[in-house]
Structure 1
Amino acid sequence: MNSQKPTVKQRVRKFTGNFATIACLVMYFSYIEQIIANFTGHPVSPVQPFFASINALLWVIYGWVKPDKKDWPVIIANFPGIIFVLVTAVTSFVH
């Protein structure tokens, strides 16, 4: 049984990872506002959302194919980006 107390460095790394995951999720969910703008006749440029979706996809692939083990925080944080940001890009053409 491992009863060792985590080091400060380990606690900081865990906190930073959790906070970064939440920040990434909030960032991608904020695209909902742009999707609504697209549907209400105020379209945003599709360029930035399109490349953001590629970025999210690449991070999900990276997290999935890591050789030692899957990087679930990276996968979980970026998967919504594939969907929300791609929908933002596509809906920018619907107005």
Structure 2
Amino acid sequence: MAFTDKQIRILSIVATMMAVGMYVAYIPQIQMNLAGQKGAWLQPLVAAINCTLWVIYALFKKNRDIPVALANAPGIFLGLITFITSF
């Protein structure tokens, strides 16, 4: 079964929103870290590195993939903030 262009567009929007939501979910952990309830540091660091690689890939490939870049950009910043505040 092949998807139509409209279905792919909808899928890219939903996937982008879900990815952003996944990284926005770091905000409560950041708040707990700042309140003294320190969380794990490894997962947010690896997420930030992973997101950086995906953004570079999406922006520098021949046909830019803006939804992939937009979906992963928040993970760079929120992952790093979560990592830094976990100490």
Q: Same fold (TM over 0.5)?
A: yes
- Map residues 19-58 of structure 1 onto 2, 5 A cutoff: 19-58=14-53
**Partner deviation per Cα, 1:52-90 (whole Å, 9 max, x = no partner):** 0011101100101111x2111111111111000111011
The structure with more radius of gyration: 1
Distance, in Å, in 1 between the alignment partners of 2:64 and 2:33 is 35
Distance, in Å, in 1 between the alignment partners of 2:44 and 2:78 is 9
**Do residues 15 (structure 1) and 16 (structure 2) align?**
no
Q: CA deviation at 1:11?
A: 1.6
Structure 1: stretches of 5+ with no match in the other structure:
1-7
- Please, what is the CA RMSD of the aligned residues? 1.3
Distance, in Å, in 1 between the alignment partners of 2:59 and 2:86 is 30
Count of residues in correspondence between the two structures: 86
Q: TM-score, normalised by structure 2?
A: 0.93
Q: TM-score, normalised by structure 1?
A: 0.85
Runs of 4+ more than 2 Å apart: none
Whose helix proportion is higher, 1 or 2? Answer: 2
Distance, in Å, in 2 between the alignment partners of 1:56 and 1:71 is 14
Structure 2: stretches of 5+ with no match in the other structure:
none
